[in-house]
Amino acid sequence: MERIPILRMGDFLLVTIQVDMHDRLAMTLQDDLTTRISKTGATGVLIDISALEIVDSFIGRMISNISAMSRVLDAQTVIVGMQPAVAITLVELGLTLPGVKTALDVEKGMQMLRVIGGGSVVPPESDGDDDRQEY
């Protein structure tokens, strides 16, 4: 059966959607992700939709569902890479994805997850002593 792969990176799960999804594939992804969050105890989910050429009401609902389900399972979801034409269309369609976190690209999305996740995976600060800001 066709599936969208879910990669694990530390505390985070990473999904890159690279195919034109039919509805059942989207539902399968929703189920698979929920199962994986629960199994791995992941604190963050990053979904890269930069290859998606449309987001219709079905995919929009899937994104909202994944976001809500992950929150209930103590994980945060960030959607990254939405194409501008897709964003314009989505809003005109009537979908504004309330409660769904978005970032422009994978890097910003990962950063957002680290900040939300709090503490443990924040990148190390500089040593501090000599370049401390003075005022």
Partner 1 sequence: MATMIVRSTETLPIRAEADVVMVRQKARAVATEAGLGLVDVTKLVTATSELARNALIYGGGGTALIESLQDGIRKGVRLTFEDQGPGIPDIEKAMTDGYTSGSGMGLGLSGAKRLSNDFSIHSVVGQGTRVMIARWK
Buried b (16+ CB within 10 A) or exposed e, 64-88: bbbbebbeebebbbbbbbbeeebee
Element (H, E) at 30: helix 23-40
30 binds partner 1 (CB under 8 A): no
Signed CA dihedral, 19, 20, 25, 28: sign only: positive
Q: Which two tokens stand for residue 76?
A: 């945060």
94 binds partner 1 (CB under 8 A): yes
Among 3-11, 73-81, 85-93, 99-107, which window interacts with partner 1 (CB under 8 A)? 85-93
Nearer to partner 1, 91 or 104 (CB): 91
85 binds partner 1 (CB under 8 A): yes
99 binds partner 1 (CB under 8 A): no
Closest separation between CB of residue 122 and partner 1, Å?
A: 37
From 5, 18, 31, 58, residue interacting with partner 1 (rule: CB under 8 A): 58
